[in-house]
Amino acid sequence: MWQSLLKHREFLLAGVILLMVLGIGSRVPSFLAPGNLVEMFNDTSILIILALGQMMVLLTKGIDLSMAANLALTGMIVALLNFHYPQIPVWALLSLATVLGLVMGVINGLLVWKLGIPAIVVTLGTMSIYRGIIFLLSNGGWINAHQMSNDFLALPRAVVLGMPLLSWCAVAALLLVGYFLRYSRTGRAMYTAGGNATAAYYTGINAGKMQFISFSLSGALAGFCGYLWISRFAVAYVDVANGFELQIVAACVIGGISTMGGIGRVLGCLLGALFLGVINNALPVIGVSPFWQMAISGLVIVIAVLLNERGNKRKGRLILRDAALSQHSPGGKEQAVKP
């Protein structure tokens, strides 16, 4: 039963999301309005992009808890620049945010790869450092909407083919990351490095280097989202996206990305983010307390982790069983005694 459940996990998760949307729509018909569904996807777009970055890190058996702080720091920097130098083009600020995020990801990757420090320790440390830098830059102050230029605020809200540009950014990220992981040599190497370190070693794949690349890419995506977040919510301050790193990891875990590395797909990442997006947008509509929202989200995360671990143990048993059968077979014995 467990094996069958895990095999169709993404199909089941999509079904659960659909049932949730239809169930809430039966109580609040306006929830099913096309405009509301588009807005709900738009609200989830930043989470989708960040979850894709976290997914690549998890595939290499790492974790990046500094993504939200990276987002907040890059967002504060571009907001301050826009406030003091409104003549700087928006595309230049967006590019700068992405490059700064990449640099912060490179720092994480180097500390993990070259110094061998556990990823969770590195990213917890850099998370605190980035938050401290935000306070130093802003002196604890806020940058509000009236201090930002119209162009700075307008870009993510521009509507293209019926959807805001922010939503199209999420769609583009899904396509690019999906292509990268499926068809590029580096993307496939990430799966090998996180799923089977021994196989990676004998095939010439440097697992540490794959972790470095994944941290760099996740940092770049976080920096890219730094501008998108500040522009969308029209405010920059020290605690922007504080605690959002837990939502990012949760989206990945719910979508079936293993924290042990080497397992996960972009489709699952998308569905995990959409699941949280539906919960965050729908439960307030039907009058569910914020405390119950947190409890429901936590329960779903625990169930997802149990399913992931059950699947990993099942695969481990199959490997051991196959090895035992090969040793007890005539061919297996002959191979065993050969020098």
- pLDDT by residue (tens digit) across 109-125? 999 999 999 999 999 99
Domain residues of the chain, as ranges? 31-308
- Residue from 236, 248, 224, 294 nearest 58 by CA: 248
CB 258 within 8 A of CB 264: yes
Q: Which stretch of 14-18, 117-121, 179-183, 324-328 has the lowest confidence by average pLDDT?
A: 324-328
Q: Please tell me the distance from the alpha carbon of residue 328 to that of residue 172, in angstroms, as a whole number.
A: 51
137 token code pair = 């830059």
- pLDDT by residue (tens digit) across 117-158? 999 999 999 999 999 999 999 988 899 999 999 999 999 999
pLDDT of residue 31: 84
pLDDT of residue 339: 36
**212 CB burial (10 A radius; 0-12, 13-18, 19+):** buried
Q: What is the largest CA-CA distance in the chain?
A: 79
- pLDDT by residue (tens digit) across 244-289? 998 999 999 989 898 888 888 999 999 999 999 988 887 777 777 7
> What phi and psi values does residue 230 have, to the nearest 5 degrees?
-65, -40
pLDDT mean over 226-235: 94
> What phi and psi values does residue 205 have, to the nearest 5 degrees?
-90, 125
- Residue from 55, 27, 16, 2 nearest 287 by CA: 27
Architecture per CATH, 31-308: Orthogonal Bundle (1.10)
Give the confidence band of 330 by pLDDT, cuts at 50, 70, 90.
Answer: very low
Q: Crossing angle, helix 244-254 and helix 67-84, to 10 degrees?
A: 130
- pLDDT by residue (tens digit) across 9-44? 788 888 888 998 888 888 888 888 898 899 999 999
Q: Please tell me the distance from the alpha carbon of residue 12 to that of residue 291, in angstroms, as a whole number.
A: 26
Give the confidence band of 186 by pLDDT, cuts at 50, 70, 90.
Answer: very high
> What phi and psi values does residue 160 have, to the nearest 5 degrees?
-130, 120
- pLDDT by residue (tens digit) across 304-321? 777 766 655 545 444 334
pLDDT mean over 287-292: 72
pLDDT of residue 196: 84
CB 118 within 8 A of CB 208: no
Q: Which residues of 10-46 are buried (b: 16+ CB within 10 A; e: fewer)?
A: beebbeebeebbeebbeeeeebeeeeeeeebbbebbb
Q: Please tell me the distance from the alpha carbon of residue 175 to that of residue 178, in angstroms, as a whole number.
A: 5
pLDDT mean over 169-178: 96
pLDDT mean over 65-86: 96
Looking at the predicted structure, is the pLDDT value of residue 170 above 90?
Answer: yes
Q: Please tell me the distance from the alpha carbon of residue 82 to that of residue 96, in angstroms, as a whole number.
A: 12
Helix, strand, or coil (residue 163): strand
